[in-house]
Structure 1
Amino acid sequence: MVGMYVVPRGMEEIIDYVKKRYQNKPIFVLENVKDLLHDVKRIEFHKAYLASLATAISFNEEEQDDIKRSQFPENFFFGTATSSYQIEGAFLEDGKSLSNWDVFTHRHGAINNGENGDVAEDHYHRYLVEDIELVHSLGVNAYRFSISWSRVLPRGRFGEVNPNGVMFYNNIIDNLLVKGIQPFVTIAHHDFPQELEDRYGSWLSPFMQEEFVHYAETCFKSFGDRVKNWLTINEPNLFADMAYIKGKYPPAHCSEPFGNCSVGNSDIEPLTVMHNMLLAHAKAVKIYREHFQKKHGGMIGIVGDALMYRPLTDDVKDREAASRVLAFNVAWVFDPLVYGDYPPEMRQYLGNKLPIFSAEETEYIKDSIDFIGINHYSTLYVKDCIYSSCIDGGDRPIRGYAFITRERNGVPIGEPTGMEIFFIVPEGMEEIVDYIKKRYPNMPIFVFENGYAPPHEEDVQVQDLLHDVKRIEFHKAYLSSLARAIRDGGDVRGYFIWTLMDDFEWIHGYNPGFGLHYVDRQTLERIPKLSAKWYKNFLTNYTPNNDNEVAGKSSFENKNVITAGLRTEQAEI
């Protein structure tokens, strides 16, 4: 038909338009035709449009409007999260050294718009008067932040501890506790002193393990009497991928077909880097458990990047490929730390490229986490590359012989966001928790990051950014999915929104806008978005409930009891 084209995405868009203009009136799609008699094309047409319609319906279920705090366990942790390089600024003040990101962001073309974190949100100067109060104003009982390695140990284990850095984090911790907020502290969140890159090649060297252990022990001594929740390394799997497969994070190592870097081997280096990070984690945990855990009564774990993966088709090969990709990404982090070795799926396809844990290493890496920490943002499709031809590196062992894609039959897996590979697929939260629950039975789970960035628009008005209804819908949908996962037996202990305020989002610069608070780039004024007000209302309009509304009972009372308390003795350094 002249003037009619196959645009499945339009189905979701027109439903969204009608819903908003007529305030959720019931909708019927009474005609949807394809002016061809060839049934194959008609089938493809209706499959695509039905998929788009399903996306529109699933993201706006009535259940999301009804999500309540009382659907989660009484002692559940609700928080928000940040990281040091992304908000602190003050990149060379008070004894801090240059970090790997300080150097990388000043390379031409490395970051969107040539931006960097030199000033960032100036959290270093504004934390006491403004930012801790922002956290408190949300009504949360937890706050996740990271410590800058370069600020506390500017030269690593061969240099002195920086007292100004220790004082800065002591002040944050103490002021959070005064307000009844539990600190969840990440020891390393993608950043470390540039000197360690220059000296060893950072995580490519086993010497980096000893550097990390010394740094972690310094943190335990300085802050452990008040910090009861430690996260050793943030997203080691994502860091290995972005820094050593794609070459988009420092030190920008990669090889064809994944990228065009001056140095690197994308098939080997990420495996070496991950091996060193996991062993560094395990050694730090060993120190913590032997010298600090009993005295301080805390918990320690790691945080993995945990996208969910679905088969592109119902074919058994694609289903196997989706399972394989989960192993190559999520289980790559957690299998060694729970079971003492890499996933069997990786051993099968990587062979002798995958490092071996010695008997001694296996002994201390096994059972080296008290909980599973994940960051979950989205879900993607997977196509098998063992029995089908693939492009873009999917046909290589390092990718598990699988191709990851965002759409099926031209239809995106969910509503797009401001991040290229992130789509709104709320059910993925329930699916990833179910995967972890089954692969690692009886392990507590924390969702340490889940957030939304709106699609980028030119010349958007600040008032529109503040009226972030879509972010509220996003979190309602994902929280509903998480509540279902808990009702189904997932021992989930906490949920943290990424992020407290708009920040420096690595290679994307300041564009994404994940924050619950808008930050004016000229004045650095923090302004609460509508989502911040919604989150506070969600958390504070709460009456403990013992009936069936509660998603699940937590075992906090009997296992890993977490208590808050101010410093009772001088921190040992």
Structure 2
Amino acid sequence: MHNQGGKLYTTIITGYVLCDMLMVLNGLKPSLAIPNEVESLVVARKTTLSSSEPSYSIQVVNALLTQMDKLKSSPNVIILTTSNITAVIDSHLHKTFSSSSDCVTGFRLSTAQIGETTTSPYDSSLGDQQKFYHFPKRESFPPNFLFGAGTSALQVEGAASEGGRGPGIWDDRINRSFIDGDKFPTMIQHYNRYKEDVQHLKYLGINSYRMSISWSRVLPDGTIKGGVNLEGVDFYNHLINELLANGITPFVTILHFDYPLAIQKNLHGFLNSSIVNYYKDYCELLFKTYGDRVKHWTTVNEPQIVGLFTYMHGYDNDDPEPCQATKLCKQAYTVVHNYILCHATAVKLYRENFQATQGGEIGLVIGSESFEPYSSKLEDVAAADRLTDFLIGWILDPVVYGDYPKIMRELVGNRLPNFTEDEKKMVAGSIDFIGINYYTSHFAKHETNKTNITLSDNYDALARSEDFNAEGNYLGYLDKRSHTFVYSEGLYNILQHIKKKYQNPKIYITENGIPSFNITNPLKDIHRIKYLATHLNYTKAAIDNGVRVGGYFVWAAFDTFEFRAGFSQNWGIIHVDFKNNLKRCPTIAGKWYKRFLNT
């Protein structure tokens, strides 16, 4: 804890998780010893603090518990905790309370609204705490708002060789070189346990489930001519019906990274524009088969992430162009161009032949993050704008306005494909909504030397994303349980950016979450509560400021296969125990989400 200029800097506002912790005010020493894991805890008046403020320290655990409700309800009191809250809970709660205690089960974990600064880990100013004091209730969100959780077929279905499914491009990659690649075909087993899984989703209280359909499961070689796999078609019929029977709306992604290996081998995948015709046939099959019940479609998931990682930087690509050396990439732009054409073609098909009778909506999902200038220099301010255009504008400029951002045309030149006039007309306005996946954000630093641009940045943007700014600070806080920088205000910034630049479209937050790989017990994901609560807070703040957000989906519903990380990261709010017959169990964060959705 720091005291700078009379302001108190601390971590989060919370409730019953304080349980067996002692509290001090503004540097005053408590009369009882604080465990080493605890830096400091306070109960403070909602005013600027000074050393003369009286202490509200509670000297014993029982007194703290009995006073908690009174303190929480008082308009003059805020309860603040510190960065090591997870360690404290892990090491102390079970010493003090029985297994039936609310503190242990997590049912009464209540996190109020948080505002972060860019100072140091787990810090936020008291002024921000005051500004975002009340945590919104579910009922304060718009009517028909979708609260959900999501997965993708590739990452949870398992049964890779069952039910007539053909191999996908990721089967081939995973089996050859990935952690847990040998387990991939059989783990999670959503394909065989979907009825049980729907009951777990129902337990959470969500009203929507974001899922994807495996192209390889319904069309094993990717083509209608090659034959429709009726077992695969029936599986998704059963899953969709099961969801609806339990009051859960399916939110369906048509292509979530994976597609038939035969398409890749025969056409070179999305490098070949003829894939648009095969994708259209696949979409038509889905609209005809499931469109009477599916009312929310997303065509593709994060196409620009595929372009950047797989083609520009060559990850998981057996035959990348040599642009990692030359820094003059072309394939990434070709692939994304064909993704956009596939998307627009599917939207045109749906609007002309299905939407009027089926009454659904269709959009696409992009990866997103907020870029803040590395310094106050104009070149860094411009760098933040460029990285935004090269990540978000790469997709949204075409699907809203019909062409790529001007800065991309200038910096990429003839390596950036052109839309024909007819394609521009088809692409422009080809969204009923935009889905955004948001996890974290970065600073943007001007960089003219492309050899210094690495990892996930676009060489042509002439900018580099940084964890730390020129003053050595970082955005938000560092979550030690996931080694992730958490900047929930970045979600708000992106929502506002899209509202202002892209005609205030309807938006769904289609992925938002954090892993739990650096904890002993994956069920005690208390750090995830803070993550979800702060992002829900900023979602509500964006809505209150005019952004048309229609839903929020936690990533992930269940633990998932996370590509090069295998099954190690524990993303799910429903944990899958690989050592106990794939038993499903809601985590503490899952129970917190349930409580939020049911109160």
Q: TM over 0.5, yes or no?
A: yes
Distance verdict in 2 for CA 1:58–1:115, change over 3 Å = farther
Contact 1:86 1:120 in 2 (8 A): no
Task: Give matches, 1:68-79, under 5 Å.
Answer: 68-79=137-148
Distance verdict in 2 for CA 1:394–1:61, change over 3 Å = same
1:530 is matched with 588
How far apart, CA to CA, are the structure 2 residues paired with 1:14 and 1:303? 31
Deviations 1:435-486 (A, max 9, x none): 10011123111100000113x43xx53xx32121111111111111111111
Q: Which has the larger Rg?
A: 2
Shift in Å at residue 61 of structure 1?
3.7
Distance verdict in 2 for CA 1:273–1:51, change over 3 Å = closer
State the AA in 1 paired with 2:503: P
1:67 is matched with 136
1:91 is matched with 160
Distance verdict in 2 for CA 1:180–1:389, change over 3 Å = closer
1:481 alignment partner, SS class: helix
Shift in Å at residue 23 of structure 1?
5.8
1:138 is matched with 204
How far apart, CA to CA, are the structure 1 residues paired with 2:568 and 2:457? 33
- Among residues 268, 282, 294, which one is paired with 1:215 in the alignment? 282
Contact 2:438 2:512 in 1 (8 A): yes
State the AA in 1 paired with 2:298: L
Shift in Å at residue 242 of structure 1?
1.6
- Among residues 231, 255, 265, which one is paired with 2:322 in the alignment? 255
1:391 is matched with 452
- Among residues 172, 175, 180, which one is paired with 2:247 in the alignment? 180
Task: Give matches, 1:233-272, under 5 Å.
Answer: 233-250=300-317, 253=320, 255=322, 257=324, 267-272=329-334
1:34 is matched with none
Distance verdict in 2 for CA 1:116–1:208, change over 3 Å = farther
- Among residues 441, 445, 448, which one is paired with 2:507 in the alignment? 445
Please tell me whether residue 494 in structure 1 is matched to residue 551 in structure 2: yes
Task: Give matches, 1:51-450, under 5 Å.
Answer: 51-53=118-120, 55-57=122-124, 61=129, 63=132, 66-108=135-177, 111-112=178-179, 114=181, 117-128=184-195, 130-157=196-223, 158-250=225-317, 253=320, 255=322, 257=324, 267-386=329-448, 391-393=452-454, 398-408=459-469, 409-417=471-479, 422-450=484-512
- Give the gaps of 5 or more residues in structure 1: 1-10, 31-49, 259-263, 542-573
How far apart, CA to CA, are the structure 2 residues paired with 1:396 and 1:75? 37
Deviations 1:299-335 (A, max 9, x none): 0000000111111111111111101111100111111
Deviations 1:320-358 (A, max 9, x none): 110111110011111111101011121121111110000
2:36 is matched with none
Shift in Å at residue 22 of structure 1?
3.7
Percent identity of paired positions between Structure 1 and Structure 2: 36
How far apart, CA to CA, are the structure 2 residues paired with 1:149 and 1:419? 35
How far apart, CA to CA, are the structure 2 residues paired with 1:100 and 1:389? 30
Please tell me whether residue 478 in structure 1 is matched to residue 535 in structure 2: yes
Further displaced range: 218-227 or 407-416: 407-416
1:508 is matched with 565
How far apart, CA to CA, are the structure 2 residues paired with 1:484 and 1:397? 31
Root-mean-square deviation (CA, aligned residues, Å) is: 2.9
Distance verdict in 2 for CA 1:417–1:191, change over 3 Å = farther
2:578 is matched with 521
2:511 alignment partner, SS class: strand
How far apart, CA to CA, are the structure 2 residues paired with 1:152 and 1:477? 39
Work out which structure has the larger RCO, using CA pairs closer than 8 Å and 6 or more positions apart in sequence: 1
How far apart, CA to CA, are the structure 1 residues paired with 2:214 and 2:450? 44
Distance verdict in 2 for CA 1:352–1:394, change over 3 Å = farther
Shift in Å at residue 496 of structure 1?
0.3
How far apart, CA to CA, are the structure 2 residues paired with 1:376 and 1:495? 11
State the AA in 2 paired with 1:221: K
- Give the gaps of 5 or more residues in structure 2: 1-8, 30-116
